[in-house]
Structure 1
């Protein structure tokens, strides 16, 4: 059985058939999903969804770098309060995105550090978004993230960058749809990453994996990324499912009562 370690099934893209999508995932062997917030409203939605699907959906609470300008002391207080709920298993997603630059760089960096502190206070793992910002993320993690744990979600870097990320002992790399596509270094990263440091995800509704032609990604499709990962590692899908499920359970503290592989 698989865990989709990063899906935004709370978003409007699933408004018309959300329950059907969740049930299709479960029926297809994707028994658990982590839904990270991207701002206060989506964090609240993710938590509500997790409460409605106990043991199946788990929430992250945080503010995406695109929305960094919305991060206020009041928002932080509400995130901290939500993080006390048992359905919340991570702080995030948060990070740095210098590709679209929808928030000023200095604000992104400040909010990134605020999330690291929140994760430390709440003793929760981090879900980190990195796009065209690897060097700054490494700098800030070295300065403020020592001893924390988490995941570099939808990892998109090269082997050298992956090795830098893996220097943070509590962190994992998560692979999404881009692993199934050509023109990137992800196959090499997937082969070198330690088995106990890898996860799979969809980042749905984004990043539809090959060979699918769907217009919207969904948790069920994480199996395509897992199949590619298994191929690259010379393993079976069942073996990769067991490894990545165990890693997700360990990182997010999903608990033994949910640990069915």
Structure 2
């Protein structure tokens, strides 16, 4: 039994077969999934999907750094309304992305702080996106995020960066398809991370894991990342599934929403 801790199955790339994708995942042992919003519309779509699939799909609400310029007081007010719904288990996905720079840095940072404030006010975990912005994320968390909990989703850094992330006691690292590929430090990170601080995800429809040769990722495929994680840790898939499921349930409070 696995949980896909981060999937965007609400997006248009699943428009033609969304229900089949969800049912296929459940039939294949991926019994629950977290769908985080990236802007107001996708947050609303994620919540609607969670309401349509109680106990299977759970929603996060937030604004991705690419969309940070869309974050207004009106958007925040609507996020606050959605946060009150029991299907919403996280604030996010939000963060900093200095790779594509689709929003100015100062606005990204301002919106990051606003999300941290929401997470604190509503006692919800954060789903944090980080790309080429590690130092700024660490600085903002030290200044504004003490005592919060959450996950660095699709972690892509090195061991030193992972160690710094893990100094925030309430935060976990989540591994996605890049763990199955060569040319990065993720195997070393996966080997050193404490077992009670790791999760798995697809970030579907993106980041198809090896050895698959398909154009669209989906929640069912989280198994391939879990298998790679098990191999790296010298564990069985069943053992890794049990550990990562327990961590995800604990972080997002899914046991309270069974």
Q: TM-score, normalised by structure 1?
A: 0.98
Q: Deviations over 1:134-157 (max 9, x none)?
A: 000000000000000000000000
Partner secondary structure for residue 212 of structure 2: coil
Task: Indicate whether 1:33 and 2:33 are aligned.
Answer: yes
Match of 2:22 in 1: 22
CA distance in 2, matches of 1:80, 1:218: 29
Provide the rounded CA distance (Å) in 2 between the counterparts of 1:79 and 1:11: 18
**C-alpha displacement of 1:255:** 1.6
| Residue-by-residue CA offset, 1:22-69 (whole Å, 9 max, x unaligned) | 000000000000000000000000000000000000000000000000
> Aligned equivalents of 1:215 and 1:123: distance in 2?
37
CA separation in 1, counterparts of 2:84 and 2:158? 36
Q: Quote how far apart the aligned CAs of 1:16 are.
A: 0.2
- The 3-state SS of whatever aligns with 2:165 is helix
Distance 1:214 1:105 in 2: 34
Question: Residue by residue, what CA displacement relative to the aligned partner does 1:200-227 show, whole Å, maximum 9, x if unpaired?
Answer: 0000000000000010000000000000
Runs of 4+ displaced beyond 6 Å = none
Pairs within 5 Å for 1:132-171: 132-171=132-171
* Separation (CA, whole Å) in 1 of partners of 2:155 and 2:227: 17
RMSD between superposed Cα atoms in Å: 0.6
Deviation at 1:256, TM superposition (A): 5.2
The normalised TM-score by structure 2 is: 0.99
Which range moved further: 247-256 or 161-170?
247-256
Per the TM alignment, residue 184 of structure 1 is displaced from its structure 2 partner at its CA by: 0.1
Distance in 1, matches of 2:150 and 2:256, equals 19
Structure 1 alignment gaps of length 5 or more? none
Taking the aligned partners of 1:75 and 1:30, their CA distance within structure 2 comes to 32
Q: Which runs of 5+ in 2 are unaligned?
A: none
Deviation per CA, 1:62-113: give whole Å up to 9, x if none. Answer: 0000000000011001101100100000000000000000000000000000
Aligned counterparts of 1:151 and 1:132: Cα–Cα separation in 2: 17
CA distance in 2, matches of 1:152, 1:121: 20
Helix, strand or coil: the match of 1:58? strand
Q: How many Å apart are 1:170 and its aligned residue?
A: 0.1
Q: Distance in 2 between matches of 1:71 and 1:14?
A: 26
Q: Post-superposition shift, 1:182?
A: 0.1
User: Shift in Å at residue 173 of structure 1?
Assistant: 0.1
Q: How many residues align?
A: 257
Counterpart CA distance in 1 for 2:214 and 2:224 is: 13
| Distance across 1 between alignment mates of 2:181 and 2:165 | 22
